[in-house]
Amino acid sequence: MYYIDYHHHSNHSFDSKADMEEICENAIKLGVKEICFTEHFSVNPKVPTFGYMNWEKYLSAIKNCQNKFNAQLKIKIGIELCEPHLMQEEYKQVLTDIPLDFILGSVHNIEESTLRKYMNAFPEKDIYELYFLELYDMIQLADIDVIAHFDLMKRYAYKTVGFYSFEKYKSIITEILKTAIKRGIGLEINTSGLRTELQESLPSKDTLSLYRQLGGELLTIGSDSHFVETVGSHFEDAVLLAKECGFTHLYTYEKRNPQALKFI
pLDDT value of residue 27? 98
The three-state DSSP-derived secondary structure of 93-120 is HHHCCCCCCEEEEECCEECCEEHHHHHH
pLDDT of residue 80: 98
Using CA atoms, how far apart are residues 218 and 196, in angstroms rounded to an integer?
A: 26
Predicted confidence (pLDDT) per residue in 95-130, tens digit: 999 999 999 999 999 999 999 999 999 999 999 999
Number of domains within the chain? 1
What is the structure's pLDDT at 141? 97
Which residues are bridge partners to 41 per DSSP? 81
Closest-CA residue to 203 (of 216, 214, 215, 189): 189
Give the tens place of pLDDT for each residue, 213-222: 999 999 999 9
Give residue 172's pLDDT: 98
Average pLDDT over residues 80-108: 97
Q: Which domain holds residue 163?
A: 4-262
Strand partners, 257: 254
What is the average pLDDT across 242-249?
Answer: 98
Angstrom distance (rounded) from CA 95 to CA 8: 19
Closest listed residue to residue 10, CA positions, set 223, 250, 238: 223
Instruction: Report the pLDDT value the prediction gives residue 239, as an integer from 0 to 100.
Output: 98
- Indicate whether 133 pLDDT > 80: yes
What phi, psi does 210 have (nearest 5°)? -65, -45
CATH number at residue 178: 3.20.20.140
Mean pLDDT of the chain: 97
Q: Where are the alpha helices (DSSP H) in the chain?
A: 20-30, 55-68, 88-95, 115-121, 127-141, 153-157, 170-183, 205-213, 235-244
Alpha-carbon distances, residue 119 vs 31, 111, 126 (angstroms):
39, 11, 9
Q: Are 131 and 110 in contact (CB under 8 A)?
A: yes
pLDDT, residue 126, reads: 98
Statement: residue 67 has pLDDT above 90: yes
Per-residue model confidence as pLDDT tens digits over 137-172: 999 999 999 999 999 999 999 999 999 999 999 999
**pLDDT the model gives residue 1:** 85
- For residue 264, pLDDT over 80 is answered with no
CB 48 within 8 A of CB 14: yes
Q: How confident is the model at residue 132 (pLDDT cuts 50, 70, 90)?
A: very high
